[in-house]
Structure 1
Amino acid sequence: MVRFLNVYTISAFVSIGVALIGFDISSMSGVLGTHQYQDFYRNPLGIRQGLITSAMAAGSIVGALSAGALGNKFSRKVTIQGGSVLWCIGSTVQSTSNGVPMLISGRVISGLCIGIMATLTPTYQSEIAPRKIRGRVVSFQSLAGTLGIMIQYFIQYGCSFIGSEAAFRVPWAIQAVPAIVLFVGLFWLPYSPRWLASKDRWDEVLTVLAFLRTVNNNVNDPLVLAEYKEIEDQIRFEREVRFQPIRELLSRKMRKRVFLGMAVQIWSQLTGMNVMMYYIVYILQSAGITSVLLASSIQYVINVVMTIPAILWMDRYGRRPALLLGALSMALWLYLIGGLLMAFGEPNPVPNQPSTWIIIDHPNASRTILACSYLVVGTFAVTWAPVSWIYQAEVVPLRIRVRSVSLSTASNWVFNFMLALGVPPLLRSISWRMFFIFASLNVLAFIHIWVAAPETKQRTLEEIDEIFEHGGPLWKSFTGKLGTSRLEQLAKDIETGKVKVRQGG
C-alpha cells in the first residue's frame, strides 16, 4: 500500500516555494520584449532595467541571511509559511505599481520570500528524506523551479496579446495563487524531525520518523529507531560541547565545508544560466532571431524536461560527475555563442536597443546560437540546477546546517544581484565578449569542483561528517566504494538487541 502523504508528495508540495523563484524569473523575462511594458515604464535599458531585475535578488539576500535564525526559532515549516505571506504582498505591490520605484519595491518584498524559500525548502527536504533518495527528493525543488519558470512564461506570453497594461499586471497578480496554496497546505505537513529534536520534542521526533519511514507508522521499526538514535546522539553531543554557532561556522574544521557550499552556489550563478533565463530575449535579438518570445518559450520547456532525468538518476550517478560534466559542457556552448557573435555580428544600426551588436542575414549562425542557448539551459537543468541546492545542505552538520545554508543561499543571491544588474550594460558595452567570460568561468568551476568537492551520494547527513574528517584529499572520495551504512549497521544492532534505544530523549 502506498500512502498519499509520504516523503515524495510532501517534498513535491513544499517545492511550490521554489516554484515561486521560477515565477519571478519569468515574470521579468516574459515582459522585456513586449511594447506594453516598454511603453508604461518608458523603455528601461541598461542599468535602469538592471535595477528592476536585480531588485528581487537584493531582497533575497536579506531573506536568505535571516532564514537561518527564523528557521531555527519558528521551524522550517512555519518560516516557509511566513515567506508565502511576503510573496503575496510583493505580488500585490508589483501588479499595482505606478512606476519603476514601486515596481522595484514590490520585487524587493518578493525577494525576501525567495531568500527564505531558497534556504529552507532544500533544508526541510533533506531533513525528512532517507539517505538513499535524498538527492531525488531535494531535486523536486529544481523541477518545481523550472515548472514555475515555464508556467509563468506562458502566462506572460498569452497576456502579451492584451493591448493594455493588463498584459503585465495580470500575470504579476496571478503569482500570488501558488503562495496561498502553499501557506494553507503546510498546516497538514509534519515538522522536520531534526528541528523537533533541537526543541526536545522527542515523542514527536519518533512519531514523525515512523510516519515518514514506514507505511503503518511503526515506531518500533529498527531503521526508525536507528535514525532516532543518530539524531539523539548528535543533539546530545552538541549540548555537551556547548558549541557556539557563529564560532563553529568560522572554525578551521567547518570553514572549508561552509565555503564549499557557498562556492557551489556562486559557481551556479557564474555558469551564465540566469543570464540566459532573465535576458534570453536580448540574447536572441542579438542573434537575429525574429520571433524571440516564441523561441524563448522552447528553452523553458527544455528546462523542465531535462530536470526529470536529474531527479531519476541523481542518487545513482552522484553529485560530483554532474557538476564536472555540466561545467565543461556549458563552457563549450558559451564559447560557441561568443565565437559566432564575434564572427558574424556587426554594430546594431538601430539606436536605443538593449543590444549594440547584432547578426543580420546569417540564418545558419542565428540558428546555431539558438541551439547553443538551448543546450546551455538543458545542460544546467540536468546537472548544476539540482546539485547546487542538494549539496549546500549535505556538506554541513545539523548544528550549523540552517545557518550555513543561509550563507550559501545569500551568496547565490549576491551574485544573482550583480549579474542581473550588470548584464544589460555589459551586453551594450562588450556584447559577444561577455559569453567568453562566462565560458571561462565554467572552466574555473570545473577545476575547483575537481579539487575540492567530494561525492556525498547515499550517505546519511551524519555520515558525511566522516568524508570531510578522514584527512585525505577530498576528490579521492569520488573513486571510493561505499561500505555498509552506519545507519543500517545500527538498525541491525537494535534489531538483535545489541543496542538499546531509550525513547523520549
Structure 2
Amino acid sequence: MVDVPKNGIGEMNVSHGSKNKYGRMDSELLDDLGDAFIQHNHQVERKRITMKFVITCGIFASLNHVLLGYDIGVMSGAIIFIQEDLRITEVQQEVLVGILSIVSLVGSLIGGKTADLIGRKWTMALAAIVFQIGAATMTVAPSFEILMVGRLLCGVGIGLGAMIAPVYIAEISPSAVRGFLTSFPEIFINLGILLGYFSNYMFSDLSVHINWRIMLAVGIFPSVFIGIALFIIPESPRWLVMQNRVEEARSVLLKTNENDETVEERLAEIQLAYGIGNADKHEDKAVWNELLMPAPSVRMMLVTGLGIHFFQQITGSDAIVYYSPEIFKVAGFKNNSNLLAATVAMGVAKTAFILVATFLIDKLGRKPLLYVSTIGMTICLSTLGFSLALLGKGQLGIALAVLCVCGNVALFSVGMGPICGVLSSEIYPLRLRAQASALGSVVNRVCSGFVSMSFLSLSRKITFGGTFFIFSALSALSVFFVHTLVPETKGKSLEQVELLFQDQPKLQGSKIETGDAEHLAHNS
C-alpha cells in the first residue's frame, strides 16, 4: 500500500485492492475516468472535423458569388473604357450595366425549379457554366450587340448562383453557426467586387481596345475552382429527404453535426416538416399556387422575405457600387486613376466590414445588426446627398463624399448585405424554400436593375444630391420594416424558424414539442 499526499489536506490510500466509500474499486474509477477522457477527446475531435467540413462546404458553395461580385466591381471601371472603345451612348451604358440585374431574375426563376429537380449542388454547376459562356462572349465582343448577348448570359448564370448558394448553405449548416456560414456568399460577393476594382486599377493603363477585355476575361478563372468544389461538397440533406433518400441524408448529417443524437433529432424534424409518410401532404396544391395564394403564415414569410430583398436594393446599394466613379467625379475627382483608386478604398471598406458581420451574426443576432445597418445607412445617404448638393467640388466635399460612400457600403455589409440572404434562406418551409428564395432573388434583381438603369438619368434630372436624399428616405423606411416585421432567428433550427410564423409557436430549448411538430406537419 502506498500513501499519497493530497495537497496537504490529508492522505489518500491507493491500492489496487482497496474500495472507496461507494464500494467501488479505485481501479474501476480510473477506468471510468479514462473512458470519459477518451470520450471527451473524441467529441472534441469530431466537433473540429465537423466545423472544418461545413466551413469547406460554405466556401465552395459561395464561389459563384465571386463571379457576381467581380462582375459588379469590374463593370464600374470597364464601362468607362467600353464607352470610349465602342462609342456607346449614355442610355446604352445604363442598359449594359442594369440589364444584368433584370435578366438575372430569369436565372433565379429557373434556379428555383432546377434546385428542386436536379438538386442544390448541380444547380450551382449550371450557374457556373452559363456564366463562363457569357463572360467569354463579352471578352471577344466586337460590338455593343454581341457584348449584350454575353451580358444576358452572365445575368442568367448570376441569377442561378445568387439564389441557390444561401439555400444550400442554410440547409447543410448546424443551427448554432448557420448565420455565420450563410453570410459567406456576401463575403465572396464583396471579395469579388474588390478583385474587380483591383483589376480595373491594374489594367487601366493598357490600350483602350484591350484593357476592358482583359478585365472581363479575368472573371472566368474562379469557375475552375467551382468545378473542383463539385467533387468535394455533398448534396443538401434536406433535398435528399425531399427525394426520399433518407439514408443519404443521414450520412450527410453525420458529417455536419457533432453527435449522433442531434443527427437523429434533425432528421426527424426534416422528415416531419416535409411530411414523409403523410399521404395527405403530397396532395397539397403546387408550390407556385401556394406562393401566389398563400396561407396566413406563408404570407407573413413572404412579406418578410421579399421585403428585405426589396429594401436591400431600393436604397441604392448596387447603384453606388456600379456608379461610384461617376459619384466621385461629381464630388470633384479629376482623372480616372484617382477615381479607380477611390473605388478600391470603397471596396476595402465593404469587404472588411462583412467580416465583422460574419463573426457577430450568431452572437448578437440578426435584428441588432440590421438596426445598426439601416440606421447608419440612412445617416450616410442623407449626409452624402447634403455633400453633393451643397458643398460643391472642394476638398471638404470630396472628403465627405468618400467618407459617406465608404461608410454606407461598410454599414450595408454589417447588416443588410449578408442578413438578407441569411433570412430569406431560413424562414421558409422546406417544400417552398428553393422557389420562395428564387422569388426573393427576382425581387432583388428587379429592384437592382430598376435602380441601376435609372440612376444616371434620375441624377441628371434631380441632381446626384437629390437622388441620394430619395435613397435616404427609403432607407429610413427600412428601419421601420426591420422593427415591425423581421423576427429573430438566431440559434433556431430551420424547422423551428418556421414555427415563428405560426399562430402560436412554442419552442422549448432545441427541440420541437410533439404538439408543435404535428401542427407543423399538417398546416405548413
TM-score range, shorter chain: 0.7 to 0.9
- Structure number with the bigger relative contact order (C-alpha 8 A, sep ≥ 6) is 1
| 1:447 aligns with one of 470, 477, 480 | 480
Question: Structure 1 CA distance, aligned partners of 2:192 and 2:374?
Answer: 24
Scaled by the length of structure 2, what TM-score is found? 0.84
Output the aligned Cα RMSD: 1.8
Alpha-carbon deviation of 1:200? 1.1
Report the AA paired with residue 64 of structure 1: S
1:252 maps to amino acid = A
CA contact (8 A) 2:96 2:148 kept: yes
Answer whether contact 1:57 1:417 (CA < 8 A) is retained: yes
- Which residue among 295, 307, 326 is the counterpart of 1:282? 326
- Whether contact under 8 Å (1:93, 1:103) holds in the other structure is yes
Specify the alignment match of 2:426 in structure 1: 394
Q: CA deviation at 1:429?
A: 1.6
Amino acid at match of 1:243: D
- 1:190-226 Cα offsets, whole Å, 9 max, x none, are 0000001111111101111101224xxx7xx111111
Q: Is the 8 A contact 1:262 1:407 kept in 2?
A: yes
Cross-structure match for 1:349: none
2:282 pairs with 1:252: no
Aligned counterpart, 1:338? 385
Separation in 1, partners of 2:395, 2:88: 28
Code of the aligned partner of 2:414: V
Matched-pair contact (CA < 8 Å) for 1:194–1:205: yes
Equivalent in the alignment of 2:256: 212
Retained in 1: the 8 A contact 2:197–2:340? no
| Alignment partners' CA distance in 2, 1:453 and 1:232 | 27
1:241-390 equivalences under 5 Å are 241=281, 242-244=283-285, 245-249=287-291, 250-253=293-296, 254-290=298-334, 291-345=338-392, 359=393, 362-390=394-422
Is the aligned partner of 1:240 residue 2:280? yes
The 8 Å contact of residues 125 and 226 in structure 2, kept in 1 or not, is answered as yes
2:79 corresponding residue in structure 1: 32
Residue of structure 1 in register with 2:204 after alignment? 160
Aligned to 2:511: 486
Out of 48, 52, 69, the position equivalent to 2:96 is 52
> Does structure 1 conserve the Cα–Cα contact (< 8 Å) formed by 2:78 and 2:212?
yes
Which structure 2 residue ranges, 5 or more long, are not aligned? Answer: 1-44, 515-524
Greater alpha carbon shift after TM alignment, 228-237 vs 413-422: 228-237
Paired position in structure 2 for 1:23: 70
| C-alpha deviation, 1:57, in angstroms | 1.1
Q: Which has the larger radius of gyration?
A: 2
**8 Å Cα contact 1:85-1:183 kept in structure 2:** no
What's the secondary structure of 2:494's corresponding residue?
A: coil
For residues 107-126 of structure 1, what are the structure 2 equivalents within 5 Å? 107-126=151-170
The question of whether the paired residues in 2 share the 8 Å contact of 1:67 and 1:115 is answered with yes
Find the aligned partners of 2:148 and 2:198 in 1 and give their Cα distance: 23
Can you list the C-alpha shifts for 1:269-294, whole angstroms capped at 9, x where unaligned? 01221111000000000000231111
Counterpart in 2 of 1:42? 87
User: Secondary structure of 2:491's match?
Assistant: coil
Identity %: 27
**Which residue of 247, 257, 261 corresponds with 1:203?**
247
User: Any conservation in 1 of the 2:200–2:340 contact (CA below 8 Å)?
Assistant: no
Map of 2:461 onto structure 1: 429
Is residue 456 of structure 2 the alignment partner of residue 456 of structure 1? no
Please say if residues 186 and 418 of structure 2, whose CA atoms lie closer than 8 Å, have aligned partners that are also in contact: yes
Q: Figure out how many residues of one structure are paired with residues of the other and give that number.
A: 458
Is structure 2 residue 499 aligned with structure 1 residue 466?
yes
CA contact (8 A) 1:55 1:105 kept: no
Deviation at 1:471, TM superposition (A): 4.8
| TM-superposed deviation, 1:8 | 0.8
Shift of 1:243: 2.2
* Preserved CA contact (<8 Å) 1:25 1:278: yes
Distance 2:89 2:226 in 1: 33
Q: Which segments of 5 or more consecutive residues in structure 1 lack a partner in the other structure?
A: 346-358, 491-505
Q: Give the match's secondary structure for 1:187.
A: coil
| Residue in 2 that maps onto 1:127 | 171
Question: Structure 1 CA distance, aligned partners of 2:386 and 2:274?
Answer: 55
Select the residue among 101, 108, 114 that pairs with 1:64: 108
| Residue 482 of structure 2 corresponds to residue 415 of structure 1 | no
- Per the TM alignment, residue 403 of structure 1 is displaced from its structure 2 partner at its CA by 0.8
Moved >6 Å (runs of 4+): none
Distance 1:99 1:390 in 2: 39
Structure 2 distance, partners of 1:327, 1:180, is 36
Query: Is 1:222 aligned with 2:261?
Result: yes
Provide the residue aligned with 1:85 in structure 2: 129
In the alignment, the residues of structure 1 paired with residue 373 and residue 275 of structure 2 have an alpha-carbon distance, to the nearest angstrom, of 40
Distance 2:60 2:67 in 1: 12
The separation in 2 between residues aligned to 1:82 and 1:111, in whole angstroms, is 13
